[in-house]
């Protein structure tokens, strides 16, 4: 079942990319008592993700913070080393990079996709989620092959 507005984020453990290397973080630690803009991409270094999705949040991070966002986090079904390399190559300072290496979180919220056609296997759908104190307040899931409702600009317009 797909997560919806009003649902609590399920308990899960993700891998956070830090300057000291990978570090595990629970969804409770990430979301409880805070407002987080979480955006998911099908894959690090993929064309739309690298050219539009991540750069949009990098460019709009101060505007999002001014609207009450405590943290902006990017999640993908990649390993933490790939997410770290992608963050460096994109100058993604101020964006928390999260690895959902086995797609456990994507499965738990019902937002997986089959990327086998592109030799990517199981991945996360592209979406943006606004989470306040562990509860989904907004959820914008893209139609396959589109990039409209999950952008930083769209989220800013909805705040």
Residues with catalytic function: 49
A 10 A CB-CB count for 116 gives: 10
């Amino acid at each position: 079942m797909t997560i919806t507005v009003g649902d609590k984020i399920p308990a899960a453990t993700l891998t956070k990319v830090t300057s000291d290397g990978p570090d595990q973080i629970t969804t409770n630690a990430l979301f409880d008592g805070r407002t987080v803009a979480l955006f998911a991409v099908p894959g690090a270094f993929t064309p739309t993700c690298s050219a539009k999705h991540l750069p949009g949040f990098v460019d709009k991070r101060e505007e999002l913070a001014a609207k009450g966002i405590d943290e902006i986090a990017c999640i993908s079904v990649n390993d933490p080393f790939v997410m770290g390399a992608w963050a460096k190559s994109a100058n993604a300072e101020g964006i928390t990079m999260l690895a959902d290496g086995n797609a456990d979180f994507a499965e738990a919220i019902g937002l997986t996709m089959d990327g086998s056609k592109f030799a990517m296997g199981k991945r996360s759908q592209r979406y943006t989620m606004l989470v306040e104190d562990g509860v989904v307040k907004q959820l914008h899931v893209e139609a396959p092959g589109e990039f409209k409702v999950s952008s930083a600009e769209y989220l800013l317009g909805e705040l």
